Each structure stands twice: as C-alpha cells, then as structure tokens.
Structure 1
Amino acid sequence: MNVPNIEKTLNPDELFLFKDLISPHFNPNWHFHPELQISFIVRGKGTRFIADHVETFEEEDLVLTGPNVPHLWRNDEAYFNQNNNLSTRGLVIYFNSELLHSALLQKNEFYHINKLIKNSARGIEFYGETKKEIKGLLLKMEKVKGFKGILILLEIIDVLANSKNYSLLASPAYTNVLKADDTNKMSLVYEYVMTNFKSKIALEDISNMLNMTTTSFCKYFKPRANKTFTRFVNEIRIGHARKLLLQDNLNISEIGYECGFSTLSNFNKQFKSIANMPPHEYRKLFLKIKTPIS
C-alpha cells in the first residue's frame, strides 16, 4: 500500500497490450492509468468500482474504462481464503488513445468511435450480443501478435462503438480529482469497507486509520468518491443484498441484517433509494426472469 497505485501498463513503444489474467483473485487495489482498458471477466465474482459507480459483477462482465478513470474489480471475500479452490480469469486490453489520432476522430466515418472514446470517461458496461461478439474477438487476439493484433483491436473498438447494448456507469458530473497519494488512502478505505460492511462501521475508526478527524475525513472522501461515505457504505451493502435476494435461503429481513443494516425499515429505505425499488419487488422481478416460461 506504500506505492501509489497509478499504474503504467504500456511501454513508450507500445500501442496496446493484451493480457490473459489468471489468478486466485483480481488486483485488489483501487487504481487508474493513462490508457483505455477493455475488461472481460471470464471467471470470478465480486463488486466492481468504476469512478463513483458501485455494482456487483460476475462472469461475462464487459467494461470499457477511459484514461485515468479509477477502477477496481474486488472479488468476494471467499476468493481471499487460501483454503478455497476459487480462481479468476480476465481478458484485458490496454491501449493508448494515440492509436486513434485526433484528426481521424473528427471525420464523419469516426463519429461513433469518437463518441465511444468520450463516453469512456464515465466507464461503459456492455451486454447482450455485444458481449458474445467481443469475447470471441478477445479469444482470437490471444493467438496473434503484432499488426494482426492491432487489426483485431480495431475491430473490437468498432463493435463497441456501434453497439446499442450499453450503459454509462459513472455519474455525468464525475471528474477524477485523485492524486498519487490519494490512491493509497482510498484503497485503504475500500479494503476496510469491503471487509467490514456486514457489521457496524464507525466513522471514527476509519478516520483514525487515516490519521484524520471525522470532519476532515468526510471533507476528503466526498469529492474523491463523488458521494458521502455513508452513501458509499450503503451502496456496498445493497450490492451484496442484490446477490442474496437472487437466492431462496434467506428472507428479506435476514438479508438486511446480513448486509449490516440494524433495522428492516432502514434496509428497505436504503435499498429503494439505490435500486429504485423495494427489495421484495427486486427479488420477484429477477426470480421471474430466471424462471423459464413453460
């Protein structure tokens, strides 16, 4: 944690880099870098942080992040247990924006690609047929090198640019104000919350961990996360609740307590605020989707 998590992924003489990342868990550190990044999750589950957006992720998660957009795919706690048999795999491409010269992006033929690059500043999640098509191209890229890899990357960019199956993740007002030493502090905050969200989180504890007063911590955290610390914690808890609601072994009250809420009324209130529907409707909706129509 002592090294600033501003990553450098490309050498000066590289335009792109493809990686097939297989490990017990993904990089657990909150970080950003000057390259754009295409990430496809082949195997692994957890919570995804893109700028000020928080959401759970699982297999076949496909996201494009723009230059210097902070991000983290944080696996569930089970992946950090040395006695489990879990592992993760991600297909990732890092590429420099210089691959697409600014003069080209101004041409009519590059309108959709220009829009894609601009939207990447908020992080973009893709779904539907786009995921299937991109997965095939990524697996194809794994087998080639050099200029052929660039051709496949350009095809991937074209597919993403013309896809209608996407959603923007970070809020429109988000801007990255993180500095080098901020990534260390924010990583500590994320790690602490992800480890302790199921129990009561005292603002004093996390403030003391960063050698701050509670007032200074709140002033520090909000502009960097684009939300209050309380809202951030509740988003983590509601993200976990969404997973549990898709299972049948716990009732809604039990799920609320399992996710760190001391009362059912507060759980219902926070869930509706973040998910735009009460938990019982969320469960009903997604169980209906998962149940095949006979």
Structure 2
Amino acid sequence: MSSPNIEKTITSRQAFIFKDLKSPYFNPHWHFHPEFQISYIIKGKGTRFIGDNVQPFKEGDLVLTPPNLPHLWRSDEPYFEKDNALSTHAMVIYFDQELMSPPLLRREEFYALKKLVENASRGMEFYGDTPEQVYRLMQNIAPKKGFRRIIRLLEILEVMANSEEYNLLSSPGYRNVFKTDDADKMQLVYDYVMKHFTTKIELSDVSDLLHMTTTSFCRYFKPRANKTFTRFVNEIRIGHARKLLLEDNFNISQISYECGFNTLSNFNRQFKSIVKMSPHEYQKLFLDIKTGMS
C-alpha cells in the first residue's frame, strides 16, 4: 500500500463530512482514521474487513466503525479487470469523536447514544429496516447547511441508537496494534489471498512476499490479524461461499471446490466453524427469508 495507514478525513474546522462516492471499485487500501464512519453501500459487492472480522458485503450494507479501527471494503476481482463495465457507489459520513464526548453521553437524554458508542467500538453492521431508514436520511443530508446538517446527523444516529437490528463485528479482545509498515505488509498479504484463495495457497509463497521464514511470518501475522493465517484464508473462502450459496447457481459440492476446498467434508466443517451453521442450513435460512418477503 503506497499511502499511510493512518488517514485524516476531516479538518479541525469541521464536525463531520458527507461523501457520495462513485468509482470503478472501492478503495482497496486497508486503513484507519480518528473519526467515526457510517458507510452505506448503494452499488457493489466484495469482502469487508473490520478489525479481525471478514464478511461479504453487497448493496444495502450499512456499517458503523469507530475511531482507529482498521477497515477495508474490497471489491470482488472482476471490478479490477480491464475494460469491465462494473462500478461502485456508496454514501459515507465521517464525524468527529468529540461530538460523542463523555460529559455529553453521561446525560440521561443520551443514554441510547452512549450504548451506540460503546457497541461501535467493535464495529456494527445493521440489517432489517434500519439500513433503508438511514439511507433515506443520508440522501437528504447533502443540501443541508450549518446546524441543519448536525440535526440530520443526529437523526441518523438516533435511528442507529434505537435499532435492535445489528451485529457486532470485531472480536471483544481485538486491539489495533499496527504501525505504518505493518499496513504495507498486511496489504500485500490481503491482496495475495484475495487473488489466490480459490486455489491452494502455500505458506512459503506468502511468507516470501514479506521476506520472512514461514515460522516468522506465522508469528508476525497472528497478533495483527487476531487469528492464524489458515483461519484467515478459510474466512475469505467461506465468505465467498456465502455469496455463492445465495446466488443459487451451484450446488454445495461445486461451491466447495470453487472456493478452494479440496474436500466437501472440510468445507462443511470450516463453514460450520465460522458461520455456526451448515451450508445447507445457511442456504435454507436465506430461501425461507426470501420466500417470506415475496
């Protein structure tokens, strides 16, 4: 990664900024910054990294990340291919953590907001009706000026604070221990795995990227990713499998091989370990939800 891993998104004169982002693919650089971030995906799909959490994302994805939690929305590989017709679109709000100051959050009226800030320390993904409610409010924030913009931001935070439709993302014990040169190295690893996870990945090939022995690489990777390299690769593969299971174009056996697993039994075991249900149960749950909505 050529840019530093610590990014400053707003100036000292701003309370928050709103961005309507349209590009061929989402920013592929793994980074963190001192502001809260609200991200809503309007168009595009890929893999989302929040702290040590790895999950697929698609249209309608709504996430709140806290200050200094590393994150990355990486578009699928077809978005990076030459002459493709794909594009992405997202709305993002960055707001200063001073808006959520402890003296303010101690007030009775801000109890729900205080809980939101506490939960946001691990990153939060929202589901159900909440993303659509937030999206409608975000659509109308750009024309607002001055204090009216702050009011709209507070309305968005109120929806998120009162929602029970959310999951926490990174692990309770996750800590950001990265330095600038770590971001460069981890970016190399992430990029390599995302390009090769459908085939066999040799630990020696990845460690060579960082000019390390395999033993040194394993020791280096685990505290920074909060998991072993094998677990990390399996999470990438299972994330891709979840997307394929919902597309309903392949059977489970085909999907296991498409995602880089040599045996169906290993795929089933890893899927259940990561998703907490079998591939068949996951697919059936989605189909039941889809049927109930139609």
Q: Structure 1-normalised TM-score? A: 0.96
1:130 maps to what in 2? 130
Q: Conserved in 2, the CA contact under 8 Å of 1:17 and 1:95?
A: yes
Q: Hey, what's the Cα distance between the residues in 2 that align with 1:63 and 1:194? A: 22
- The 5 Å alignment of 1:165-244 reads 165-244=165-244
Runs of 4+ in 1 over 6 A off after TM superposition: none
Secondary structure of 1:277 counterpart:
coil
1:112 maps to what in 2? 112
Percent identical pairs in the alignment equals 64
Q: Hey, what's the Cα distance between the residues in 2 that align with 1:195 and 1:67? A: 29
CA shift for structure 1 position 33? 0.4
Consecutive unaligned residues in structure 1, runs of 5 or more: none
Q: Conserved in 2, the CA contact under 8 Å of 1:21 and 1:91?
A: yes
Secondary structure of 1:167 counterpart:
strand
Check if 1:153 corresponds to 2:156.
no
* CA deviation string 1:137-180 (max 9, x = no partner): 10000222332211111111122111111111111111111112
Greater CA drift, 57-66 or 120-129? 120-129
CA shift for structure 1 position 107? 1.2
* CA deviation string 1:184-230 (max 9, x = no partner): 11111111111110011111111110111111111111111111110
Check if 1:37 corresponds to 2:42.
no
* CA deviation string 1:91-116 (max 9, x = no partner): 00001111233211111111111121
- CA RMSD, aligned part only? 1.4
CA shift for structure 1 position 247? 3.0
Secondary structure of 1:291 counterpart:
helix
CA shift for structure 1 position 292? 5.0
Consecutive unaligned residues in structure 2, runs of 5 or more: none
Q: 1:128 and 1:249, CA in 2 relative to 1: closer, same or farther beyond 3 A?
A: closer
Q: Conserved in 2, the CA contact under 8 Å of 1:6 and 1:183?
A: no
Q: Hey, what's the Cα distance between the residues in 2 that align with 1:46 and 1:273? A: 21
Q: Hey, what's the Cα distance between the residues in 2 that align with 1:18 and 1:293? A: 32
CA shift for structure 1 position 84? 1.7
Q: Conserved in 2, the CA contact under 8 Å of 1:43 and 1:90?
A: yes
CA shift for structure 1 position 259? 0.4
Q: Structure 2-normalised TM-score? A: 0.96
Q: Hey, what's the Cα distance between the residues in 2 that align with 1:140 and 1:293? A: 28
